[in-house]
Structure 1
Amino acid sequence: MPNIKVFSGSSHLDLTKKICDRLGLVPGKVVTKKFANLETCVEIGESVRGEDVYILQTAGGMVNDNLMELLIMINACKIASAERVTAVIPSFFYARQDKKDKSRAPISAKLVANMLSVAGADHIITMDLHASQIQVYNTYLYTR
């Protein structure tokens, strides 16, 4: 498969390896680390110029850390001239916070969709969304 790179966030390295094995690809080189103040640092270890990049990250475990790591990875690939960046998110971040259930309550799933778009994601692949309105948030972002 030419011009495709698959990177894994730290949330599920095994799933990324299985997907790459199925596709006959080698997972892309990425180094993630935490600074002393617990800020996330991501280094993409190979060229992504002109490539279709897929970044797999799940919302399990340390949800906020995983989300921030994904956003940084997307942005790193985008500013390194990736042709297209697709976030593969089997379990969407904040999917249960998909509607305004009381006054002054945020719609966090929409906020996450907006953050993914601002970070540079061209597409999102996800499954088993908590509610169909999350699809509307994602569809709106990518048809503007």
Structure 2
Amino acid sequence: MPHFSIEYSANLDSRLDMNAVCEIVRKAASETGIFPVGGIRVRAIRCEHYAIADGKIDYGFLAMLLRLGEGRDLPARQKAGEHVFKALSAHLDPVFANSKFALSFDMQINDAATSWKRNNIHDALKAEASHG
């Protein structure tokens, strides 16, 4: 259950392809090897209303939150987080170069006792792999 939620300022629409951003994050998460591919979710939520710093309207932000299940130790989470952040940050270099921009990424571990899930994608991926 690695679920990435990306909130971003609406003024980034002209500077970023959010489908590409989601794919960068999905691919980087898959590359870490610690997340089951069938559980990876990346979503982007456009924030129409926001206020940043001293209120200048040309500032932008992208804030990503990863919610994941228990069971990964801190060094594994840090290594995976650094990999995903590095890939996303590199993709956003042009935004940093051409505008005032803030990027953040936080991880949150869900308590298994209060987290319910139902998913048949894992089984579909296993069946696909075994049948080519």
TM over 0.5: no
Larger RCO of the pair (alpha carbons < 8 Å, separation 6+) = 2
TM superposition score normalised by structure 1: 0.29
- Which structure has the highest strand share of the two? 2
Higher alpha-carbon Rg: 2
Q: When you count helix as a share of all residues, which structure comes out higher?
A: 2
